């Protein structure tokens, strides 16, 4: 019998993985935000899709200034970085988060290359989305969101 994990069962793993990745890759201390902040959608969203025996997506949403600062830290260069570097950096962070979460999913799951959307005037629709777990975090650079979506 295969047990299908719920998004709620991944909440602690998402928090631990996000904190570890931001600490290790960016040297940035982050914390979970509760209650959830009342804020506008981010300027940038990176997505990595899970496919195979389990389908879903991991999203990383933040402001453009955050993506630029994080990418400068990843590249070990002074800010500001180009929009292209900000996209690449945010995609890489999302890819590492998704890759670290993958072992907690059922066997037979693969991940896609990351995709990144820049700009606040867009909507993202994942056909067949059954559930979404949004985890909100904060750092010295401001609030951001990591969401796990089950398809």
CB neighbour class for 127 (10 Å; exposed up to 12, middle 13-18, buried from 19): exposed
**Which DSSP symbol is given to 76?**
T
Digitized pLDDT (tens) for each residue of the chain, 151 residues in all: 344 545 557 788 999 999 999 999 999 999 998 866 666 557 899 999 999 999 999 999 999 999 999 999 999 999 999 999 999 999 999 999 999 999 999 999 999 999 999 887 776 666 666 678 889 999 998 999 999 998 8
Residue 48 CA: distances (Å) to CA of 6, 37, 76, 142, 146: 18, 24, 24, 23, 11
Q: What CA–CA distance (Å, rounded) separates 129 from 16?
A: 24
Architecture of domain 8-150: 3-Layer(aba) Sandwich (3.40)
CB neighbour class for 114 (10 Å; exposed up to 12, middle 13-18, buried from 19): buried
């Amino acid at each position: 019998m295969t047990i299908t994990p719920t998004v709620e069962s991944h909440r602690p793993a998402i928090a631990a993985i996000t904190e570890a990745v931001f600490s290790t890759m960016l040297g940035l201390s982050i914390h979970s935000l509760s209650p959830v902040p009342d804020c506008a959608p981010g300027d940038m969203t990176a997505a990595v899709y899970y496919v195979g025996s389990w389908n879903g997506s991991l999203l990383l949403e933040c402001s453009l200034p955050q993506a630029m600062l994080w990418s400068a830290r990843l590249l070990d260069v002074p800010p500001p970085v180009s929009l292209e570097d900000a996209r690449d950096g945010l995609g890489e962070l999302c890819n590492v988060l998704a890759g670290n979460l993958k072992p907690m999913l059922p066997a037979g799951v693969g991940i896609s290359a990351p995709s990144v959307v820049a700009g606040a005037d867009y909507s993202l629709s994942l056909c067949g989305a059954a559930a979404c777990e949004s985890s909100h975090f904060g750092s010295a650079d401001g609030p951001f969101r990591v969401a796990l979506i089950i398809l």
